[in-house]
Structure 1
Amino acid sequence: MSTNTPLNIDDYTVITEGKAHILTPKEYKVFYNPVQQFNRDLSTAGIRAWSELYVAEQEAKKQEKIKETEEIKEMNVKAEPSTPAPFINILEALSATGLRAIRYGKEIPLVKNVVANDMLDEAVYAINRNIEYNAASNVVANHGDAIKYMSNLPSDKTFHVVDLDPYGTAAPFIDSALNAISNDGLMLVTCTDLGVLAGAGFPEKCFALYGGTTLPKGASHEAALRLVLHMIATTAAKYKKAIEPVLCLSIDFYVRLFIRVRTSPIKVKELASNTMITYHCSGCGANANQRLGKCETNAKGTANKFGWAAGPPVSSHCHNCGFLNHVCGPMWAGPLQNHTFIDKILAINATLDDETYGTRARITGMLTLARQELSDAPFYFDPTKLTSILKTQPIPMKSLVAALGNSGFEVSLTHASSGAIKTNAPWSVVLEVFKQKLAEKLEIADESAKAKLQSSANGSKNITSGMAGYKIMNQDLTQSFSKELKERLGITEQTPFIVDFETPNEVSKRVEKLRKVKIVRFQQNPTKNWGPKAKPQ
């Protein structure tokens, strides 16, 4: 659709991003957010990764069917893989200038059609103008309400990829987006309301939008990811659809999620066991996770029996410090990242050029961190904040990771917070590690030296009975270890738990190697006053 008006380039500012050139009126009318360049670069690479994996999976299924035919069995001939024609249909539900849609059409191979939708007249006019200027023949504009448009799509007109990037929450768009996406398609979701998702001031609004409450402090940015996934998963389940998160990132002021959606009533049954509530200690920051369902698997690793989960895992007050436990969630309990998907993006990203993709270094950095995150250890913690609670001197990261690794636990960094780590060690073990490091610094050899520990000028003299660290520093935490944990750590009446902070191990070597890599976590400002703008009027 043409604007039917000759373009006078002098009336516009030309914005170049990727392979697209966007004309924006010198009088600002349509929303353009340059800080989201990383989002768009990553999304382009992510859709390419999905398409290559999708084609490979479809080809594998085709070859399997061919092998099953008697003719191929007798001839022992393998059919040559066919080169797919452009087939990908993409919907950008909230398009604004059309920049993202045009980039998808020009930069992603195998794209057949991209629909750039917006409900504002001025936005649709701008989209058509930019489509014409870029000669993007595979991109079309649609003027309509995104929710109504997606809700009314017939089953034979769905999209392989649906991209939701609203101003604020994506919650109102999820039901209709699930109707608009093809089986085994990719949903891309952005939520910019981190004040609700990761803040401590709006638990009632968080629950209203996402069906759960976030952590009041600590790993709130990871909780934000898990809350959005919970909202999408429970919504999808109503339509016999299951989700698989393949890449979930907390970035700057928003979260960005890449999710595969499949119609699978069997997988829907696993939703309860992939959902949890978390008891978050208001004192020491301990998190105790309670799955809402039980799922048993057979020898093949497939779920075959479901039931009720046992709980709760803690009482109303934390057994470590005595402070009140807050109930958070429900939220997604399963993995956040898919290694195969991330590896494919990294491989694609390595082939791109820095001039076209200005955030390529950051994509490498963020995804490298996301890939190495522990998948079975929800929530990270900041060692410096725990140091503040215990009123102790900081423990070098190298020593802390070595101590946890030598105790038989895994450790990883996290993309969501610089200086934070994830571990599958119980919180009481982490606290005991900190206590022993303090005792080591004070050369305390036995429990009889507690008075020295409590009064030392270098240690915990500032802890009073009303503080969270007081009970932690005045009890033997190993007494609360479970029988299984004691056996794992080799603790007996004759053999105490002794932490080794010095001996390198595979865990500490891996983490230390990653820490030495210069990873770009935050995007460099390309222009003056570069950042999020106000919502368009």
Structure 2
Amino acid sequence: MTSEAFPTIDLSKYDQLTEGSATILFPKNKVFYNHVQQYNRDLSCLAIRAFTELYQEEKVLLRRKRNKQPVTDGAQPSTEDVTETLTKADAEEKAKKQPYAIVMEALSASGLRAIRYAKEIPLIKSIIANDLSAAAVDSINVNIQHNQVGNKVTSNHADAIQYMSQHKDEYHVIDLDPYGSAAPFLDSAMQAVKNGGMMLITCTDMGVLAGNGYPEKCFALYGGSNVGGDATHETALRLVLNMIATTGAKYRKSIEPLLCLSIDFYVRLFIRVHQSPIKVKELAYNTMMMSKCSGCYSVTEQRLGKISHNKNGSKKFGLATGASHIGPNCSFCGYVNHIGGPMWAGNLHNKDFIDRVLSLQAKADDKIYKTLPRIKGMLTMAKNELDAHFYFKPTSVSSVLKIPAPSIETFTGALGNLGYHASLSHTVPNSIKTDAPWETIWFIGKKLAEKCKLDKSKLSETTAGYKILSNDDVGKDIDLNKLKAESGSTDMEDSDWLFQRNEVSDQVNQLRRIKIVRFQENPTKNWGPKSRPK
């Protein structure tokens, strides 16, 4: 584009930056642009496109269901009926292609994200690009004009919290990407989103959210505490989800996580919101506390509600029963337990939604979407994650027991042979998610110590490792002879059988062999969240 095409804009006063389909103008030498966040924006474009297609398809199917007229007495439909049906079907197919989605970007800054949405997502009808800063709104207006998207994008100068609270049930999509925590914006955003709509939420305050150095601040913002450890980034996701779920429950709204990712220095969550009082009743069951041992890092969980089923199939809700194995001290090593939560206990992802995004990713133009390999990598990993809580590193087990670090294949093989499932995690490399309890994990650890002929007398008796190795209750209910007999391998030694390859370890290894970009490659020197814009 040239300055002649836009006589009111003196392009010599601006630095130009192109990302995706948008070219953004910044005042000379005042560019606040973070290269690393292009992944966030690329993924958001594809996710919103997937959602808008899904939402439109649901509406068409609902209309078809309502208009369906059954044929009775063996009568054949008349020509007029067929013509009318075809006309309706054609109209519905045409409607599927018509832009309809109303979007709000609550904290728009330069307008880059809103402009990309307008140019790259066909079903978007209109976008509000809002910002509290008057200078930012001026920048948005310049960029709307420069990109010729005034027919879809409208700037707005307002406090996002006040604005959203005044526009209830208005937006199909709301994008919250603040500097720091999104917590202050959630209440009004939950009111502004339509039934069945989608919210995109970013939190960049990972020092608070994923650490255990500021438990009081984490609790104040998110209504729960993190306790650190291997799975601290998954705990961060679950804390944010719980805050969103409890916020929505006040308005009789439930949440459906579609894709929740821990990325670099922030978390990014894609969530559908439904007006569903019956689902709100499930919130207590989908909320849990956790305890983490300060010595061996074992994790135990406690849901805050329970669901039972009556004979007629209806659900009955009640109070959860306290877990007898959770106390002030760890049952494995005796060290002090620390309590975290409350946090979300449901799933983090919807695999069907991930498949839909991946299908768009496979067809996307790599000249526009520069981060397609990484999108494929993280979403493939998220899709294959086990629907279990938290993950651990085999190196953490070896560190406690003072033994050589086992490989991922060795540990997942043992989990599979003991009858459990395992997967990798998108958040941290070389970590394992499993549905096995920690008693089983420590049983495997003890077998690894036996295999390497560890002399526990060389360990201090006060260490967690020594106490676990000396705890005869760990794994006492695991009958290796019975499991070996069931597998037809009675002639094998215990350690040979336990650590042999199987379907579980093969599936994990197959995923590890895929050449996928999971983590950010350094785009610039000293990249990161950067300072708050002035």
Residue 275 and residue 480 in structure 1: after superposition, are their counterparts in 2 closer, same or farther (change >3 A)? Answer: farther
Give 1:91's aligned residue: 104
Aligned match for 1:148, one of 153, 159, 162: 162
**Structure-2 separation of matches of 1:114 and 1:498:** 63
**Structure-2 separation of matches of 1:529 and 1:170:** 25
Pair 1:405 & 2:437 matched: no
Give 1:449's aligned residue: none
Aligned match for 2:24, one of 14, 22, 25: 22
Partner SS for 1:330 = strand
Which deviates more from structure 2 when the two are superposed, residues 395-404 or residues 59-68?
59-68
Partner deviation per Cα, 1:169-210 (whole Å, 9 max, x = no partner):
000000100111011000000000000111110000111000
Q: Is the contact made by 1:399 and 1:501 (CA closer than 8 Å) also made in structure 2?
A: no
**Structure-2 separation of matches of 1:405 and 1:150:** 49
Partner deviation per Cα, 1:435-473 (whole Å, 9 max, x = no partner):
11221232xxxxxxxxx6324xxxxx3x21121111101
**Cα distance, 1:66 vs structure 2:** 2.2
Pair 1:280 & 2:292 matched: yes
Partner deviation per Cα, 1:73-119 (whole Å, 9 max, x = no partner):
96285652422211011100000000000000000011100110001
Partner SS for 2:414 = helix
Partner deviation per Cα, 1:105-158 (whole Å, 9 max, x = no partner):
000011100110001011000000000000012111001000010011144xx1
Match of 1:104, as an amino acid?
A: Y
**Structure-2 separation of matches of 1:73 and 1:10:** 74
Partner SS for 1:169 = coil
Residue 415 and residue 70 in structure 1: after superposition, are their counterparts in 2 closer, same or farther (change >3 A)? Answer: same
Pair 1:103 & 2:116 matched: yes
Q: Is the contact made by 1:407 and 1:489 (CA closer than 8 Å) also made in structure 2?
A: no
Partner SS for 2:33 = coil
Report the identity percentage.
51
**Structure-1 separation of matches of 2:203 and 2:222:** 11
**Structure-2 separation of matches of 1:182 and 1:98:** 23
Partner SS for 1:242 = strand
Residue 501 and residue 55 in structure 1: after superposition, are their counterparts in 2 closer, same or farther (change >3 A)? Answer: same
Q: Spell out the pairing of 1:67-82 with structure 2 (5 A cutoff).
A: 67-68=68-69, 75=77, 79=86, 80=89, 81-82=92-93
Q: Spell out the pairing of 1:80-229 with structure 2 (5 A cutoff).
A: 80=89, 81-84=92-95, 85-136=98-149, 137-155=151-169, 158-229=170-241
Count of residues in correspondence between the two structures = 509
Q: Is the contact made by 2:242 and 2:342 (CA closer than 8 Å) also made in structure 1?
A: yes
Match of 1:259, as an amino acid?
A: I
Match of 2:421, as an amino acid?
A: E
Aligned match for 2:340, one of 323, 328, 332: 328
**Cα distance, 1:521 vs structure 2:** 1.4
**Structure-2 separation of matches of 1:347 and 1:299:** 41
Residue 479 and residue 110 in structure 1: after superposition, are their counterparts in 2 closer, same or farther (change >3 A)? Answer: closer
Partner deviation per Cα, 1:365-422 (whole Å, 9 max, x = no partner):
00011111111x2001011122111111111211111111011000000001011110
**Structure-2 separation of matches of 1:160 and 1:53:** 12
Q: Is the contact made by 2:418 and 2:498 (CA closer than 8 Å) also made in structure 1?
A: no
Give 1:415's aligned residue: 426
Q: Is the contact made by 1:410 and 1:425 (CA closer than 8 Å) also made in structure 2?
A: yes
Aligned match for 1:341, one of 330, 353, 357: 353
Partner SS for 1:249 = strand
Q: Is the contact made by 2:440 and 2:475 (CA closer than 8 Å) also made in structure 1?
A: no
Q: Is the contact made by 1:432 and 1:477 (CA closer than 8 Å) also made in structure 2?
A: no
**Structure-1 separation of matches of 2:258 and 2:381:** 14
**Structure-2 separation of matches of 1:192 and 1:161:** 20
Residue 185 and residue 411 in structure 1: after superposition, are their counterparts in 2 closer, same or farther (change >3 A)? Answer: same
Pair 1:50 & 2:44 matched: no
Q: Is the contact made by 1:32 and 1:96 (CA closer than 8 Å) also made in structure 2?
A: no
Match of 1:309, as an amino acid?
A: A
**Structure-2 separation of matches of 1:191 and 1:73:** 60
Q: Is the contact made by 2:443 and 2:475 (CA closer than 8 Å) also made in structure 1?
A: no
Q: Is the contact made by 2:128 and 2:156 (CA closer than 8 Å) also made in structure 1?
A: yes
**Structure-1 separation of matches of 2:447 and 2:532:** 52
- When normalised by structure 1's length, the TM-score is 0.90
Residue 488 and residue 58 in structure 1: after superposition, are their counterparts in 2 closer, same or farther (change >3 A)? Answer: farther
Residue 119 and residue 371 in structure 1: after superposition, are their counterparts in 2 closer, same or farther (change >3 A)? Answer: same
Aligned match for 2:465, one of 466, 469, 475: 469
Q: Is the contact made by 2:109 and 2:136 (CA closer than 8 Å) also made in structure 1?
A: yes
Give 1:447's aligned residue: none
Match of 1:402, as an amino acid?
A: G
Partner deviation per Cα, 1:461-499 (whole Å, 9 max, x = no partner):
3x2112111110112244654xxx66997599xx9x945
Pair 1:232 & 2:244 matched: yes
Give 1:446's aligned residue: none
**Structure-2 separation of matches of 1:490 and 1:507:** 16
**Structure-1 separation of matches of 2:261 and 2:311:** 33
Match of 1:50, as an amino acid?
A: F
Q: Is the contact made by 2:332 and 2:474 (CA closer than 8 Å) also made in structure 1?
A: no
**Structure-1 separation of matches of 2:184 and 2:16:** 33
Q: Spell out the pairing of 1:266-277 with structure 2 (5 A cutoff).
A: 266-277=278-289
Residue 323 and residue 5 in structure 1: after superposition, are their counterparts in 2 closer, same or farther (change >3 A)? Answer: farther
Match of 1:379, as an amino acid?
A: F
- When normalised by structure 2's length, the TM-score is 0.90
Q: Is the contact made by 1:31 and 1:535 (CA closer than 8 Å) also made in structure 2?
A: no
Residue 309 and residue 69 in structure 1: after superposition, are their counterparts in 2 closer, same or farther (change >3 A)? Answer: same
Q: Is the contact made by 1:275 and 1:291 (CA closer than 8 Å) also made in structure 2?
A: yes
Q: Is the contact made by 1:34 and 1:532 (CA closer than 8 Å) also made in structure 2?
A: no
Give 1:304's aligned residue: 315
Residue 470 and residue 361 in structure 1: after superposition, are their counterparts in 2 closer, same or farther (change >3 A)? Answer: same
Residue 154 and residue 370 in structure 1: after superposition, are their counterparts in 2 closer, same or farther (change >3 A)? Answer: closer
Q: Which runs of 5+ in 2 are unaligned?
A: 1-5
**Structure-2 separation of matches of 1:397 and 1:154:** 49
CA RMSD of aligned residues (A): 2.4
Give 2:62's aligned residue: 61
Match of 2:11, as an amino acid?
A: I
Partner SS for 2:268 = strand
Give 1:11's aligned residue: 13
Partner SS for 1:35 = helix
**Structure-2 separation of matches of 1:303 and 1:203:** 39
Pair 1:378 & 2:389 matched: yes
Pair 1:254 & 2:251 matched: no
Aligned match for 2:500, one of 503, 526, 530: 503
**Cα distance, 1:52 vs structure 2:** 1.5
Pair 1:433 & 2:444 matched: yes
**Structure-2 separation of matches of 1:127 and 1:465:** 65
Which deviates more from structure 2 when the two are superposed, residues 304-313 or residues 185-194?
304-313
Q: Which runs of 5+ in 1 are unaligned?
A: 443-451, 456-460
Partner SS for 2:93 = coil
Partner SS for 1:217 = coil
Q: Is the contact made by 2:401 and 2:449 (CA closer than 8 Å) also made in structure 1?
A: no
Pair 1:389 & 2:386 matched: no
